[in-house]
Structure 1
Amino acid sequence: MEYKQWYMEYKIHKNRPGLLGDIASMLGMLEVNILTINGVEGKTRGMLLETSDDEKIMLMGEMLKKVDNITVTALRSPRLVDKLAVRHGRYIDRDSDDRKTFRFTRDELGLLVDFLGELFKREGNQVIGLRGMPRVGKTESIIAGSVCAMKRWTFVSSTLLRQTVRSQLAEDEMNPHNVFIIDGIVSTIRSNEKHYNLLKHVMSMPSTKVIEHPDIFVRESEYTYDDFDIIIELRNIPSEEILYDSFTTSYSDDL
């Protein structure tokens, strides 16, 4: 008997006393387990459910359509964003035009780290772009996400402590299970032939690569936006513009 998880979300029109208890009782009678429950952004509530019988979920959905106080807005296999919404009580801001772009602000670093940690747990090739102004917390979030995923991280290029351009990596650093961190500006503006050969090798590995400043990386290299699976934007405040001209000059002052 195999158990399967489901995500249910409903909007509350009238939060009368006992409403949650009634829904929980209905789930209990159907022998559907509630794994996690949380309010999600105002009058919306999300639940992670578990059952071995999919028909019970469908039946529950039909029954809840008859409840006037709520409207079920989602009943599906849980996505990563669903699990994080229940865990943190808020949805990740997602670009309506480009669905692979997710937006965070600095006061959501906990949510971002959790998001990155879940992404890093995935096996195989994935390329993640991370946009943001200097000192907004990009590299620190990647490292914290790696810790959450219990993955080792490897710097291919970085400006965390000083500008670092690697031309070779040790054998243990080349483990495809590592998270490879690449500064898109350093790896292009400061790139030499040895570094670029290493970069191409890392990019071809079946592993997780996180590229800071992906727009400069695409502009100055052979790679395109199609090579990215996810783009993350991190800002100090929602209205902040990410302008590269204001800080790319410092990367090449000594060239």
Structure 2
Amino acid sequence: MDERKEYYLEYEIKINRPGLLGDISSLLGMLSINIVTINGVENSRRGMLLLCRHEEQIERLKSILDTMETIRITKLRLPKLRDRLAVRHGRYIHSDVDDRKTFRFVRDELGLLVDFMAELYKKEGHRLIGIRGMPRVGKTESIVAASVCANRKWLFVSSTLLKQTVRSQLIRDEYNEDNLFIIDGIVSTRRASEKHWQLIREIMHIPGTKVVEHPDIFVQQTEYSLEDFDYIIELRNTEDEEIRYESVERPSLSQDSDFSMFDF
């Protein structure tokens, strides 16, 4: 039985001289540590996923690397999701300094965002994810693309992506914890009936993943709060773009509209 364990090594290059990577690779080879993945990450840093059998090998590696003047170790630990994605995409996911459950992306990082959300979708159990962003920045498309990557069926509980949709019931097979439930916070809070809200309460008790667009609007007139969210994702066109909800205009739904059996 293979009992090898993965570790994440990240180091900052202080003196970028020819052969530096070769020296480190040779050192790993001498310590019988395999390189699974390697890539450059942000700010002159390089990240590696390593594989070895004994923790002592990692301790010896660290003691040797600490003596090298050309690099500085920034991380050496069991890999987290953010570490794996950093190596895969060559850039880090940025979280809010004051709120560690808030993660920020810009539009040219959609590939990284989709990969991140797909990994969240794969986890079992209740998970409530909020996503903020201005219109047409790619929120819904990213949610759906991530569900495809995670091999999860998605259900629009409220949406305006393809058709104005406010559902008031699900069919039996849709009450499935493996499904991904997508809620548009603006549509649900401003245009929905009590039947719709009863459905949302039922969905919240399903031990699966729910994604709410515009979570700040969603919590304004409901019993839910931002503390109920496990992750908050912010998607902007540019890093300095301000997300302003007074500028978000959605087409109105007819009070008679009921797409309770409408599915995508």
Q: Into which bin does the TM-score normalised by the smaller protein fall? A: over 0.9
| TM-score under structure 2 length normalisation | 0.93
Instruction: Please tell me whether residue 133 in structure 1 is matched to residue 153 in structure 2.
Output: no
**Fraction of identical pairs, as percent:** 62
Shift of 1:42: 3.3
2:72 paired with 1:71: yes
- Where does 1:10-89 land on structure 2 (aligned, <5 Å)? 10-89=11-90
More divergent stretch after superposition (184-193 vs 129-138): 184-193
Query: Deviation digits for residues 55-108 of structure 1, max 9, x if unmatched?
Result: 111111111000110010100111111111111111112111111111111111
Matches within 5 A, 1:156-235: 156-235=157-236
8 Å Cα contact 2:175-2:206 kept in structure 1: no
- CA deviations 1:105-125 (Å, max 9, x no partner) are 111111111111111111111
CA shift for structure 1 position 52: 1.5
Taking a change above 3 Å as real, the CA distance of residues 193 and 241 of structure 1, as seen in their structure-2 partners, is: same
Equivalent in the alignment of 1:120: 121
Query: What amino acid does structure 2 have at the position aligned with 1:138?
Result: K
AA partner of residue 175 (structure 2): M
Deviation at 1:36, TM superposition (A): 0.4
Whether the 8 Å contact between 1:189 and 1:251 is mirrored in structure 2 is no
Distance across 2 between alignment mates of 1:252 and 1:213: 16
Cα distance in structure 2, aligned partners of 1:198 and 1:251: 22
Please report how far the alpha carbon of residue 252 of structure 1 lies from its aligned counterpart in structure 2 after TM superposition.
4.8
Deviations 1:121-164 (A, max 9, x none): 11111100000111111110001000111111111111101221
Match of 2:260 in 1: none
- 1:172 CA drift (Å): 2.2
Question: Secondary structure, in 3 states, of the residue corresponding to 2:219?
Answer: helix
Structure 2 stretches lacking a partner, 5+ long? 256-264
User: Matched residue of 2:105: which SS?
Assistant: strand
1:214 CA displacement: 0.2
Instruction: Provide TM-score, normalisation by structure 1.
Output: 0.96
Aligned residues: 254
| Amino acid corresponding to residue 84 of structure 2 in structure 1 | K
Q: Would the aligned equivalents of 2:41 and 2:90 in 1 still touch at CA under 8 Å? A: yes
Deviation >3 Å, runs of 4+: 250-255
Query: Where does structure 1 lack aligned partners over 5 or more consecutive residues?
Result: none
